[in-house]
């Protein structure tokens, strides 16, 4: 089996053919030289002793016997040499295949981010230099990985601290503003107008800070998606309750179509954030009394969620950039920050999913979310 497998290898075939050709050429040269020498000796004997036929000469027969003997010895030596060369190539190839197999396993461990694989036992072979270089790279990668983990942890702590430092005064301002609004009867009209505007702006600032921190956490990978089995109908039911206040403001309707019981493995909190951001975009760009539809389909590869609206649509110029951070299309409102869709995309991609958009201006927009099984 080893010989059969080895002969399938192109390199071993090449080396064997070269070896056989070399031996054949050497044999031809040696045999030709021996025949030439023997013919010269035969001619010399015939001329010296005037033998009429070659068969009558005992000396000539001795020459022929010696020639045949040398040829047999040469053939036997060649066969033995070829056999030893073949065995050498086979064992060399077998050792190389083992080395390659070990290297493949080692690289697979590296791909799985296991940097603690032992590579100290380096054998003296053609792979030794390669192993040494890989080992150096592994040490460097391990060090960078550990530094990156520490940096992410530090950044996560900074983000939490910044969040706390910003939220504390904002919460205090919000609480005081709410207290003033509760006693609005004691305020004149201009003051009421200013207080309500301050309250609205505070809500926007709180929303913006929350989403900026979420984007930073996703970009720096300082959060872990806690995936669990979630019923998609239950997910949409909760989302619908959360979105009712926005839908009712424009007298719109949210229609959810799920044909069967579908379960997905997601982080429920974060996926709700993604879908609600998309829905807010659809509500914002849809007319009053319009419909927004959600449809869910499952196949062997992925679960597909489609969110459709009959709104202003997205222009061809804006379509490739719609998920870029802080990008505002020409149909965006003045209150838009260009964060919601970018955040939704980051969350979905953190679930190893993808989001696509299809739109026709002044007709409809369809967001397609694919969560791979």
Residue 104 corresponds to which tokens in the numbers above? 């493949």
Do 157 and 149 meet the contact criterion of CB atoms below 8 Å apart? no
Measured from the Cβ of residue 112, the count of other Cβ atoms closer than 10 Å reads: 9
In this prediction, residue 59 carries a pLDDT of 56
Helices (H), 50-127: 58-111
Tell me the C-alpha distance between 38 and 242, whole Å: 108
Residue 359 exposed, middle or buried by CB count within 10 Å (0-12, 13-18, 19+): buried
Would you give per-residue pLDDT tens digits along the chain (373 residues)?
444 444 445 555 566 677 667 767 776 776 666 666 666 666 665 666 555 554 445 555 666 666 667 666 767 776 777 777 777 766 766 666 676 777 777 777 766 666 565 555 545 555 666 666 776 777 787 788 778 778 777 777 777 777 778 878 888 888 888 888 887 777 788 888 888 888 888 888 888 788 777 877 777 777 778 889 999 989 999 999 988 888 888 898 888 888 778 888 999 999 999 999 999 889 888 888 889 999 998 888 999 999 999 888 888 888 888 888 877 776 666 666 678 888 899 899 988 899 999 988 888 899 999 998 8
Tell me the C-alpha distance between 217 and 208, whole Å: 14
- Dmax over Cα atoms in the chain, in whole Å? 152
Q: Is the sign of the CA dihedral 234, 237, 239, 241 positive or negative?
A: negative
Alpha carbon 191 to its chain's center: 57
Residue 181 corresponds to which tokens in the numbers above? 């609004």
* Strands (DSSP E) found in 182-301: 228-231, 253-258, 263-266, 291-298
Best CA proximity match to 348, nearest among 293, 300, 305, 297: 305
Measured from the Cβ of residue 347, the count of other Cβ atoms closer than 10 Å reads: 26
- For residue 254, the SS3 value is strand
In this prediction, residue 294 carries a pLDDT of 92
Best CA proximity match to 215, nearest among 305, 323, 321, 332: 323
Tell me the C-alpha distance between 282 and 325, whole Å: 18
Residue 118 corresponds to which tokens in the numbers above? 């032992």
In this prediction, residue 47 carries a pLDDT of 62
Q: Is the sign of the CA dihedral 100, 9, 2, 26 positive or negative?
A: negative
298 phi/psi in degrees, rounded to 5: -120, 140
- For residue 344, the SS3 value is helix
pTM: 0.57
Measured from the Cβ of residue 298, the count of other Cβ atoms closer than 10 Å reads: 19
CATH architecture of 228-372: 2-Layer Sandwich (3.30)
Distances, alpha carbon 142 to alpha carbons 147, 148, 331, in Å: 9, 10, 48
In eight-state DSSP terms, residue 54 is G
Tell me the C-alpha distance between 218 and 343, whole Å: 8
Tell me the C-alpha distance between 355 and 353, whole Å: 7
Residue boundaries of the structural domains of the chain: 2-111, 151-219, 228-372
Long-range residue pairs from 84-92, CB within 8 A, at least 24 positions apart, any chain:
85/16, 85/19, 86/16, 86/19, 89/6, 89/12, 89/15, 89/16, 90/2, 90/3, 90/6, 90/12
In this prediction, residue 130 carries a pLDDT of 67
* Strands (DSSP E) found in 200-352: 228-231, 253-258, 263-266, 291-298, 302-309
In this prediction, residue 10 carries a pLDDT of 54
């Amino acid at each position: 089996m080893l010989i059969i497998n080895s002969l399938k290898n192109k390199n071993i075939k090449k080396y064997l053919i070269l070896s056989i050709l070399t031996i054949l050429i050497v044999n031809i040269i040696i045999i030709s030289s021996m025949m030439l020498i023997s013919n010269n000796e035969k001619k010399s004997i015939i001329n010296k002793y005037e033998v009429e036929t070659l068969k009558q000469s005992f000396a000539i027969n001795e020459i022929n016997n010696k020639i045949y003997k040398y040829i047999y010895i040469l053939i036997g030596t060649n066969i033995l040499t070829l056999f030893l060369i073949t065995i050498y190539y086979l064992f060399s190839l077998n050792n190389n295949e083992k080395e390659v197999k070990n290297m493949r396993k080692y690289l697979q461990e590296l791909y799985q981010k296991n940097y603690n694989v032992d590579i100290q036992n380096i054998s003296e072979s053609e792979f030794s230099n390669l192993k040494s270089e890989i080992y150096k790279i592994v040490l460097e990668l391990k060090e960078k990985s550990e530094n990156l983990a520490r940096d992410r942890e530090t950044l996560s702590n900074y983000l939490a601290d910044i969040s706390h430092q910003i939220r504390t005064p904002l919460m205090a301002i919000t609480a005081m503003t709410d207290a003033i609004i509760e006693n609005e009867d004691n305020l004149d009209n201009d003051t009421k107008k200013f207080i309500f505007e301050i309250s609205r702006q505070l809500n926007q600032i709180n929303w913006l800070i929350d989403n900026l921190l979420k984007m930073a956490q996703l970009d720096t990978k300082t959060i872990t998606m806690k995936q669990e089995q979630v019923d998609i109908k239950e997910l949409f039911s909760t989302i619908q309750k959360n979105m009712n206040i926005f839908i009712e403001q424009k007298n719109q309707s949210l229609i959810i179509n799920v044909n069967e019981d579908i379960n997905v493995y997601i982080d429920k909190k974060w996926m709700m954030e993604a879908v609600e951001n998309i829905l807010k975009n659809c509500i914002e760009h849809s007319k009053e009394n319009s419909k927004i539809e959600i449809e869910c389909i499952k196949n062997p590869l992925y679960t597909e969620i489609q969110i459709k609206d009959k709104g202003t649509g997205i222009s061809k110029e804006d379509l490739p950039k719609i998920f870029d951070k802080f990008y505002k299309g020409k149909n965006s409102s003045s209150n838009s920050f260009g964060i919601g869709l970018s955040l939704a995309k980051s969350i979905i991609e953190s679930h190893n999913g993808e989001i696509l958009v299809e739109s026709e201006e002044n007709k409809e927009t369809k967001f397609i979310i694919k969560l791979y099984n």
